[in-house]
Structure 1
Amino acid sequence: MVTENPRRVAAPATSRWRAMAGWKKAMIALVLMVGVLCAGLGAVGFGLKQRYEGRVQREDILGKGTVPHDERRWESGPLNLLLLGSDSRDGEPDQALYPGQRSDTIMLVHLNAGRDAATVVSIPRDSYVDVPAAGEVWSGGPNKINAAFAFGGAALAAETVAKLTGLPLDGVLVANFAAVRKLVDAVGGINVCLPYTVTSSDTGVTWPAGCHDLDGRAADDLIRQRHGVPGGDFGRIHDQQLVVRALAERVTATSLLTSPTRLDRVLTTAAESLIVDRDLDLADLALALRRVRPETVQFVTAPFSDPNLQTPAGSAVRLDEVRAPALFTALREDRVAQWLAANPQTPPAN
């Protein structure tokens, strides 16, 4: 009989990654890409379909024929996923998941042709862009990009992003980012390193520049701040990206993956936070993401030239007329790594 050596030390994180089951690797890839909110999908394609897919809501988003969409792209080559996030608070209805309300977070997730790296592009919600017509509700024309969700739900938001970027979309996910609090607590808290001081306009708490251990309530408070953070809404976007990265690091660096109870809590919370396109095959998504590693995910904010553009829709953001199209071209041509090398990301300034 073989007995286990009680003095054996735990394997390092890199070894645990190599030995990890395929569905768990896919889950981690999704953790990295959408901040744990899509984590449950990784498990769906690898034997846990009934438990988690039943918790995910479905909606016809890309089936209207207004967005370039080709199922054959799933067989090989790069993929583009659109993530729309709500920002409802405790006690408020999760209105941003439904037509008539605006989406506070817009992320374009690009998976490279080798399917071993991903780029998450945050598009400022106040970007002043062309929003296509939506029946009698909206006749079409310039407006803030998050207005598209109010006029035509996720389908019009996807059409707007596709028109802006020139990218085909291979899937759309609508996530409730209020679940971040539950997810952070589920993984036992996170450590976030801030390059600047942030003061909460809600609680008065101040986080000096440096690293901080945050529980779910503190992390939720941090990613909501727009006024007590350098760069306003751009600082908020940057803080969201920092929390996404910290969540991913926490998941890969702790025993979460070997704790069935805690893992189930994270996957359940993630699945219950999602609405996905009706035709998005979750098993195919998990399979496509199985080789993405924590260190191969990059975050970028769409370049802008004027954060205080005055428009009929109010103060808005003018995207840079040179650098933003160059980024979208780099995504279309799957050479975003070169674009990032030439355009290194820096924290927002006051």
Structure 2
Amino acid sequence: MVTGIPDRRIGPARSRWRALAGWQRAGLVLVVLFGVLCAGLASLGFGLKHRYESRVQREDILGRGAGPHDERRWESGPLNLLLLGSDSRDGEPDQALYPGQRSDTIMVVHVNKARDAVTVVSIPRDSYVDVPAAGQGWAGGSNKINAAFAFGGAPLAAETVAKLTGLPLDGVLVANFAAVRKLVDAVGGVTVCLPYAVTSSDTGATWPAGCHELNGAAADDLVRQRHGVPGGDFGRIHDQQLVVRALVERVASKSLLTKPTQLDRLLTTAAESLVVDRDLDLADLALALRRVRPEAVQFVTVPTSDTDLRTPAGSAVRLDETRAPALFTALREDRVPQWLATNPQTPPVR
């Protein structure tokens, strides 16, 4: 099924873009990591730092309980970055950028010590965890993890994730996931292969199991679905990962990187969709990731034992008391491949 992919004719590359080739791999890795939401970072390696970095908002996010910037880890240790995303729609307030809203996408991006592999760990937004006190309105205690953003913004969300996982966080990026529509259109559409059928509760669109060509509106519709997809929110997490990977595959083509108009649109959209921790050096991040190949990036969802836990905060998700801590330990000790060998990832089923 083909869903409205526009036909774009891009002119020849301009001379100022010829430097892209040397940093192509670093740029693609960044695209892989953050599903193009963070593709603006790649511009740093391309020598176009000021054009895109000036479009990224900066805020003080780390420092409470998530740990300050540590140069030693950037020089030699594994890195852990937190990506928070909202599910706001066009015309609505940007939920990821305003206090009092909840983050619907929570991912820890682990870069191994060798800097040649990445694991993107999705934390279910309804995970029932300990959320530290926020000063006003929240005295601390158990709640859904995405409530941390509502109580204390990105700083409290970062502290909550750091406390849950035991991981030192080396940077935080807050992204408007609604930008997926513009990003997909910027690359000319994506091919998403679904292992199950999905029906949109918003538009009535249906996607049978199989591969589909999606434009921005269709991809945006797909990644929002929780009710017409197997596993509810877990299905949505899986669909988000599929769209991320599809974006990676489309951007990874060398032809895109030689089309300045299309690439500029992509990077500008990504940069304007981000709020970044003030201490996160985007140039250092681009350099740290330059040797990671797309096939060395894998997606993991934190294991759960109960997806219909009854709590004072409503129906929530209980993280598996054995496998989840084992995953967090594997991340801290930089031995994710060993954990994955005994905990293979499978898509949700009905």
Under TM normalisation by the shorter chain, which class is it?
Answer: over 0.9
The answer to whether the 8 Å contact 2:36/2:244 transfers is yes
Structure 1 runs (4+) deviating above 6 angstroms are: none
Equivalent pairs counted in the alignment come to 331
Contact 2:88–2:178 (CA under 8 A) maintained in structure 1: yes
- The 1-side partners of 2:24 and 2:98 are apart by 31
- Partner of residue 265, structure 1: 265
SS of corresponding position for 2:204: coil
- Partner-residue secondary structure (3-state), 1:96: coil
> Structure 1 residues 286 and 346 mapped into 2: Cα distance closer, same or farther (>3 Å)?
same
Compute the displacement of 1:254 (Å): 5.4
Structure 1 contact 26–290 (Cα < 8 Å) conserved: yes
Question: Cα distance, 1:239 vs. partner?
Answer: 0.1
Residue 203 of structure 1 corresponds to: 203
Counterpart for residue 66 of structure 2: 67
Residue aligned with 1:75, SS: helix
2: CA distance between counterparts of 1:86 and 1:218? 18
Long gaps (5+) in structure 1: 1-18
Q: Does 1:284 align with 2:284?
A: yes
* Residue 45 of structure 1, CA deviation: 4.3
Q: Which amino acid aligns with 1:27?
A: G
Deviations 1:70-126 (A, max 9, x none): 222101121000000011111111133211110010000000011111000000000
Q: Shift of residue 245 of structure 1?
A: 0.3
Distance in 2 between residues matched to 1:34 and 1:291, nearest whole Å: 16
Q: Which residue of 2 aligns with 1:144?
A: 144
- Equivalents in 2 of 1:148, 1:251: separation in Å? 33
CA contact (8 A) 1:57 1:276 kept: yes
For 1:110 and 1:276, locate their aligned partners in 2 and report how far apart those are by CA, in whole Å: 17
Q: CA deviation at 1:25?
A: 2.0
Task: Confirm or deny that 1:87 pairs with 2:87.
Answer: yes
Secondary structure of the residue that 1:344 maps to in structure 2? coil
Report the counterpart of residue 165 of structure 2 in structure 1: 165
Task: Identify the range of structure 1 (290-299 vs 70-79) with the bigger mean alpha-carbon deviation.
Answer: 70-79
Q: What's the CA shift string for 1:292-332, capped at 9, x where partnerless?
A: 11100000100000000000000000000000000000000
SS of equivalent to 2:76: coil
Aligned position for 1:330:
330
String of CA shifts for 1:127-149, please: whole Å, max 9, x gaps: 00000001122100000000000
- For 2:263 and 2:342, locate their aligned partners in 1 and report how far apart those are by CA, in whole Å: 39
Counterparts of 2:96 and 2:315 in 1: how far apart (Å)?
21
Q: Which residue does 2:308 correspond to in 1? A: 308
**1:167-316 map, 5 Å:** 167-253=167-253, 255-316=255-316
Residue 8 of structure 1 is matched in structure 2 by: none
How far apart in 2 are the matches of 1:339 and 1:166? 17
AA partner of residue 304 (structure 1): T
Identity of aligned residues (%): 83
SS of residue in 2 equivalent to 1:239: helix
Map 1:106-145; keep pairs closer than 5 Å: 106-145=106-145
- Secondary structure of the structure 2 residue equivalent to 1:238: helix
Distance in 2, matches of 1:42 and 1:188, equals: 19
Secondary structure of 1:21 counterpart: helix
Counterpart secondary structure, 2:181: helix
Check the 8 A contact 2:95/2:103 in 1, yes or no: no
Q: Give distance in 2, aligned partners of 1:216 and 1:65.
A: 37
Deviation at 1:20, TM superposition (A): 6.5
Q: Write the deviation string for residues 204-253 of structure 1: whole angstroms up to 9, x where unpaired.
A: 11100000000111000000000000000000000000000000001113
Matches of 1:65 and 1:200 in 2, distance apart?
Answer: 40
Aligned partner letter, 2:199 = T
Please, what TM-score do these two structures have when normalized by structure 1? 0.93
Q: 1 CA distance for matches of 2:280 and 2:181?
A: 27
**Superposition RMSD on alpha carbons, in Å?**
1.2
Query: Mean alpha-carbon deviation: is it higher for 248-257 or for 311-320?
Result: 248-257
Report the TM-score when normalising by structure 2.
0.93
